[in-house]
Amino acid sequence: MNKKVFTFAVVGFFVWGSFAQAQMSSTNFKIRWDSISTGGSDTASSASYLLRDTAQTAIAGSSTSASYRLDQGYRSGVDEQMISFDVFVQDLSLGRSATALSGTTVSVDTTGLSINNYVGLVQDVGSGQVSMIGKIQSIGSGTVTVDVWKHSGTLAVVDGVNDSLYPLTGSAISFGQLSSSSLKTALIAFEVTSANDNGYVVQVYEDGNLRSGSNEISDVADGSVSVGSAEYGARSSDTSLSDSTFDTSDTALTSAFQTIASENTASFASRNFLTLKTAVDPIASSGSYAHTISFIASGNF
């Protein structure tokens, strides 16, 4: 049986802005504008522009003391953040067996885990796996509790057999050795906060096929990366994509931008993940296969 060594480099693009001042938020909600305008529009837009205009309130402007600054009036002083984007990569070397799941609490070895780490919980690791991601809110004795699970419509079930929790704290993915009798998977998660009224889109592209010299692992073409076939592709947790097939099929990564997640409204801490899948056949050439995947988040205007 041929064994193949695969390594991947994954590069995330980060877009940052400063947070708005005039807002109230908690863990569960954010009020983006919390005063009443005397006129204007929240959502004036054309094909190219978005404008939040207002007729000014009677008492408006800025006043300061030694310790405080007060900006009065509807949207006064707002330095609006438009979009933030973070990418979280599964560290395959730090997986640990998950033995039970109750709501958002997983029974697991907590060694090396920290509050605010993003984690992936994977039921039945391999070709039929069911995955979900969350952000650790608390750590107990042999348990971690996440804020909320994001999945692709199916909640993972943990029976303690072949179920694992992985920190999403990697920067590159190393699948290790592949064989024609199994396939390997890896999660790349991302979180977007977008103030755009029309939401955002996340796209992916590759710098070329998964390759070792002149040898390549074929892009999946039949909608499913299968054990024993030399195929490589990915599936998104976003199940309602209108302009790609990542929501319904294992889909090839290409050098063109392809949509893997989107929202059509302003979104706060919106999460999704891509599941990479790779398999080899018995006659594939041995080697160290690699490529680079890039992600970009853009606002919809």
| Contact status: 256 vs Ca ion (CB under 5 A) | no
Residues 114/158/232/10 CA torsion (nearest 10 deg):
-10
Q: Which is nearer to Ca ion, 128 or 153 (CB)?
A: 128
Q: Tokens standing for 254?
A: 């290409």
Q: Among 7-15, 72-80, 105-113, 156-164, which window interacts with Ca ion (CB under 5 A)?
A: 156-164
What is 141-187 written as a DSSP string? SSEEEES--EESSS-----SSS-EEEE--BSEEEEEEE-TT--EEEE
Q: Among 23-31, 42-50, 161-169, 177-185, which window interacts with Ca ion (CB under 5 A)?
A: 161-169
Beta carbons within 8 Å of 128's beta carbon, 6+ residues apart:
none
- 3-state DSSP of 186-236: EEEEEEEEECCCCCEEEEEEECCCCEECCEECCECCCCCCCCCCCEEEEEE
Q: Per-residue contact track with Ca ion, 121 to 150, x per CB under 5 A?
A: ---x--------------------------
C-beta nearest to Ca ion: residue: 226
Q: 4-12 and 292-299: which strand pairing?
A: parallel
Total site size for Ca ion, rule CB under 5 A: 12
| Contact status: 104 vs Ca ion (CB under 5 A) | no
Residue from 79, 109, 222, 243 binding Ca ion (CB under 5 A): 222
Nearest-approach distance from CB 226 to Ca ion, in angstroms: 4
Q: Taking CB under 5 A as the criterion, which residues in 190-209 touch Ca ion?
A: 209
Q: Which is nearer to Ca ion, 145 or 209 (CB)?
A: 209
| Contact status: 218 vs Ca ion (CB under 5 A) | no
- State the amino acid at position 42 in one-letter form: D
Q: Helix, strand, or coil here: 205?
A: strand
Q: Which is nearer to Ca ion, 195 or 280 (CB)?
A: 280
* Residues binding Ca ion (CB under 5 A): 124, 159, 161-163, 209, 219, 222, 224, 226, 229, 253
